[in-house]
Amino acid sequence: MTDFRQKVFDVKEENMLGLLRQKVGLRGLSAPVIGDYTQRLCPVASAMRHYSSATKQMTVRDALNSALNEEMAADSSVFVMGEEVGEYQGAYKITKGLLDKYGPERVVDTPITEAGFTGIGVGAAYHGLRPVVEFMTFNFALQGIDHIINSAAKSNYMSAGQINVPIVFRGPNGAAAGVGAQHSQCFAAWYATVPGLKVLVPYSAEDARGLLKAAIRDPDPVVFLENELLYGESFPVSDEVLDSNFCLPIGKAKVERKGIDVTITAYSKMVSFALKAAEILEKEGINAEVINLRSIRPLDRDTINASVRKTNRLVTVEEGFRQHGVGAEICATVVEDSFGYLDAPVERIAGADVPTPYAANLERFAFPQIEDIVRATKRVCYKSAAANA
């Protein structure tokens, strides 16, 4: 593949030219280029890989950093851009060390102008580069959402397949702690409604590393929704996960915990809550199966329905709003495909229908807690006092 470091961004924003330093000439996406993209995708067979027992620990932060580093080393068309990704090493230190290794032409510090650098990233992807655009929070991505939806998501369809847009939009999504309503919203359901986008929601270090690699290699735009509170969490990883060729298939969920009494679906930070709730429920005689969605567009409907047909009950968990949420889509899927297997109404656990409060005590009430999952699961299993009344 042509070394894109030798080319320049042809952009209108004059204040950004000094940062980028190079120009990109017009370049059509020929069959060989598209073929190269296809070769870099994760093989579907990786979904069937059997991992060895995990012996090492890795934080989600290090998993993301290592995935970026390895993909940048493997492909010179990959670069990162965003606010404070370079000199400051990243607002959350996800890009730590990358500026020193790859230089300012591939680790691009931008002004505080999401609309500007999101558009530049999409334009670079039009010309064959593979940008990874970091938002300090996905709340700020609202400034650039026109480029994400109208420029990135729709171009392949509107060009009759002639234009691929291999770009990743990544950063923390949802609530952190005490940052108020304008920095706490979950946008998963927003992006999951858009044809042309792929939307990934990692939970563990394995998810973060494998899914980010897959996102960077994908020929289509990927929205990569992380959680700030998970960055410092450590998870066991196997030697296979640490291999530079490791990546996970997009659109495939993971059964984190097998069970026979009830299915609990969750994504991102809520997977941890669901697993902890399952441990409590086990002591009370309820054996819950926990599904880590990993991807919400595409959604792994087969895994969800197969689990519900086994357990006959479903609880969905998400931080986002209940109305038109991810849980609502999962519920509709199960009703359409597995209604006859349900032995109880579906329970949906979601964020409160209010802007996120700033006060810590109110903020806690605004988002699902472990005890909420336990209570809902008992209801769906007819084990609660209310169900038995």
Stretch (H or E) spanning 335: helix 326-338
Q: Which of 217, 289, 235 is nearest to 260 (CA)?
A: 289
Phi-psi region of 17 (alpha: psi -120 to 50; beta: other; left: phi over 0): alpha
Instruction: Report yes or no: 286 and 383 within 8 Å, Cβ to Cβ.
Output: yes
Token pair for 108: 């691009």
Q: Round to whole Å and give the CA distance between 61 and 361.
A: 28
Residue 214 half-sphere exposure toward CB, CA atoms < 13 A: 28
> Would you call 83 a catalytic residue per the annotation?
no
**Amino acid letter at 384?**
S
Whether the bond into 43 is cis, omega within 30 of 0: no
Q: Which of 127, 134, 183, 289 is catalytic?
A: 183
Contacts of 12 (CB under 8 A, 6+ apart): none
> Would you call 279 a catalytic residue per the annotation?
no
Q: Round to whole Å and give the CA distance between 106 and 80.
A: 6
| 120, burial (CB in 10 Å: exposed 0-12, middle 13-18, buried 19+) | buried
CA angle 108, 233, 175 (to 5 degrees): 70
Q: Which of 70, 83, 114, 319 is catalytic?
A: 114
Token pair for 374: 């336990």
- Positions annotated as catalytic residues are 114, 183
